Amino acid sequence: MANDTNNFKRWNRRDILKALGGIPFVGAVWYSGASLAGSAIREKQFLLETLNIKASPPPASGPMSGKPLRIGIIGFGIRGEQLCRALGFASTGWLKDMSDNLAKNPKDTRLTDFKAQENLNVKLAAICDVFDQRAENALKSFNSGDNKIKRFRTHTELINSGEVDAVIIATPDHWHAPISIEALNAGIHVYVEKPMTHNIAETYLLRDTVLKNPKTVFAVGHQHRQTQSFLTAQDVISKNILGHVSLVQTNTNRNDDNGAWQYDIAESASPKTIDWDLFLGNAPREPFNLEHFFRWRKWWAYGSGLSGDLMTHDYDRINCILKMGIPKTVTASGGIYTHRDGRNVPDVMHVNMEFPDFSTGGSQVAGKEKGMTFVYSATLGNQFDRGTVLMGHDGSMDLGNRITVYADPRSTKYAELIKEQRIEAGVPIYQYDPAVNGTDAVTSATAKYFANKGLLWTYRDGKRVDSTFLHLREWLSCIRNGGTPSCSIKEGFEEAISAHMGGLAYKLGRRIEWDAVEQKIIAQPGEDLDAVLLSNT
Amino acid sequence: MNTPKLTAVQGYALVLLRILIGWHFLYEGIIKAYNPSWTSKGYLLSASILKPFFAWLAGDSMISAIDYLNIIGLVAVGISLLIGIKVRWGCIAGMLLLLMYYLAHPPFPGLPQGPAEGSYWVVNKNLIEMAALFVIYLFPLTTIFGLENLFARKKANTTIN
């Protein structure tokens, strides 16, 4: 005790400073860091509360229990194979390729993901393809102890066989509507690839058929409807975060032969192995032509060009969020500039759709803002990512799997917050990334860098989920448990008419108008719009 | 403690270096500790070498522990250097943390550099800070400035008495 007292007596102020001088530094740094982090969190919270965007994934579809559904596949080409995989049936060739890939690259998760996919409780009962090699491939791959698959020469035989409950149609575009109509009239459920139809007349016919057969479930294959972020994007619009959206920009940029529909031609293909007449169907007569058979997307007679083939994805994605319906007028331009290989559909194309009476809401004086243009711009000769952007007076929304919202520097709604520097131009005010399971306002450059590289990707229940799988699951759930698919006849009708207006505007070089009262595309006297749309010129 | 013969200015300069590095570590730790959404997951997953190791650290079972240890490490090293207690241990821990940051994104030619405010080739600020910590390790100088001063004096007094 005496020693202790002595010790303290020996201490002068200088010693105490030397011993304890670091403590105020700790206090100052701690306080400063904590208060800065606290205020950043409060600012973020304030923005999130101000915007009040509800981030939610789409509702899960119902149970897959009960008797297995018997599915017939009509068309087993590239897309047909993908759809079968989404149903849980992979061809032997694909399985071999994937296991070879996995041996070469252990990080390739495609095979593991496929094996981990939920069982949809279906049987692949029937296959129909005009090319023997493809049909035989399906028979060879899918005939197993618990799945018996039978080949039918024509879709009519398949539909009326009594051996299927539902069909998946993945044929060239000119067969979409005729097969759908036949199946629906026979009481068979239909999942048809996009575009829903190939011409205008059959669009009405298909709509009437679906409405006449309310017990059959009809779905169009726009799997984008399953994108996790779309409900959140809808909420952004309904809360008027962007103000009046006057322009929507969508694009396709591809720069490879496969992306330009220059698919491989099978060696075994010949008039003996392909039912050419059945392939042609209602298309103009043409002598047997391998290029037409394997690369049908390059001709108006069987495909629908950029407007029907790829713009429909973008149109439907935006229609899913804005529900703007069919445009009042459409103009288009473009040409064959990147693949001058004999095709007659354009490979560079721009479509402008006008919605003069449409508004997402506004923040300025009533009556000042109304009307919107939807722009689709595509090239098959460059793959620069231009992004999908919805542009409003108060903000812009960059739409993908992630949603990023930026305030506009000249916004009326956010003028005060911008002035107070609580919102900075160029820095997102809101970001939703379903992959990181949460929301984030005011992101940093670093966070953006990581997110853009796709590193913050996550999986549902630890598994990567394919949107086509979710879309098919939704259709199967509607068959089993009732309900209407997210992309059914109303959405399909709007998609098909809008795409046909784009094709017509390109071909005729004039503005194409929709008569909303009469529900028809306005033609000039004596003009046959379907003949124009389908012509190979 | 083998205090080397340094001039007063040399000593103060080294103490200044220790304070600055301690300040930096503590502030980084506090900013992360008070931000509930902070995680090192992105940094680890984007590692340009030793990917399996960093991916393991970033895995679901590890990441919360790694984030927690990182924050604790940064704060502990910061306090140790600032107040001058267990400085040598602080230096070792700090060097280990910096080594991990360096190895996840080394500025080697041919590797992606990610977001950085300068230009680096082999040597970057993590490596320099690591070297500076090595200097501090060799010259902790807690008798010039630090809490250990108090214990050292007590110990010395006890011996005298």
Hey, is the C-beta of B23 within 8 angstroms of any chain A C-beta?
Answer: yes
Is residue B150 one of the residues assigned to a domain?
yes
**How far is residue A300's CA from residue A296's CA, in Å, rounded to a whole number?**
8
Q: How far is A106 from chain B (nearest CA, A)?
A: 12
For residue B108, the SS3 value is: coil
Give B2's pLDDT tier (boundaries 50, 70, 90): low
Q: How far is A109 from chain B (nearest CA, A)?
A: 16
**How far is residue A155's CA from residue A128's CA, in Å, rounded to a whole number?**
6
Residues of chain B numbered 127-156 and touching chain A (CB < 8 Å): 143-147, 149-150, 153-154
Hey, is the C-beta of B83 within 8 angstroms of any chain A C-beta?
Answer: yes
Q: Which residues of A touch B19 (CB under 8 A)?
A: 22, 25
Residue A434's nearest CA partner among A405, A463, A456 is A456
A11-17 long-range contacts, Cβ below 8 Å, gap at least 24?
A11/B153, A15/B149, A15/B153
Question: How is residue B156 written in tokens?
Answer: 């010395």
Residue A504's nearest CA partner among A530, A477, A471, A524 is A530
Is residue B1 one of the residues assigned to a domain?
no
Nearest CA in chain B to A23: B83
Q: Does B45 contact A29 at a Cβ distance shorter than 8 Å? A: no
Q: Which of B71, B77, B149, B154 to mutate to test the interface with A (most CBs of A within 10 A)?
A: B149
Helix or strand run (H / E) with residue A355? strand A348-355
Q: Which of B21, B71, B79 to mutate to test the interface with A (most CBs of A within 10 A)?
A: B79
Q: Which domain holds residue B88?
A: 8-160
Digit-coded pLDDT (tens) for B53-85: 998 998 888 989 999 999 999 999 999 999 999
Q: Which residues of B touch A432 (CB under 8 A)?
A: none
Q: Which of A29, A450, A452, A455 to mutate to test the interface with B (most CBs of B within 10 A)?
A: A29
Length, in residues, of chain A: 537
Q: How far is B128 from chain A (nearest CA, A)?
A: 22
Q: Does A22 contact B27 at a Cβ distance shorter than 8 Å? A: no
Is residue B2 one of the residues assigned to a domain?
no
Is residue B3 one of the residues assigned to a domain?
no
What is the number of structural domains in chain B? 1
pLDDT tens string, chain A, 537 residues long: the values are: 445 555 555 667 778 888 888 899 999 999 999 998 888 888 888 888 888 888 776 678 899 999 999 999 999 999 999 999 999 999 999 999 999 988 988 877 778 888 888 899 999 999 999 999 999 999 999 998 889 999 999 999 999 999 999 999 999 999 999 999 999 999 999 999 999 999 999 999 999 999 999 999 999 999 888 777 777 889 999 999 999 999 999 999 889 888 899 999 999 999 999 999 999 999 999 999 999 999 999 999 999 999 999 999 999 999 999 999 999 999 999 999 999 999 999 999 999 999 999 999 999 999 999 999 999 999 999 988 888 999 999 999 998 777 899 999 999 999 999 999 888 877 889 888 766 544 444 444 444 444 443 333 333 444 456 788 889 999 999 999 999 999 999 999 999 999 999 999 999 999 999 999 999 999 999 999 999 999 977
Q: Which residues of A touch B37 (CB under 8 A)?
A: 438, 440
Q: How far is A33 from chain B (nearest CA, A)?
A: 5
Q: Which domains does chain A have, with CATH numbers?
A: 69-226+471-486 (3.40.50.720), 230-266+297-464+497-534 (3.30.360.10)
Q: Does A41 contact B27 at a Cβ distance shorter than 8 Å? A: no
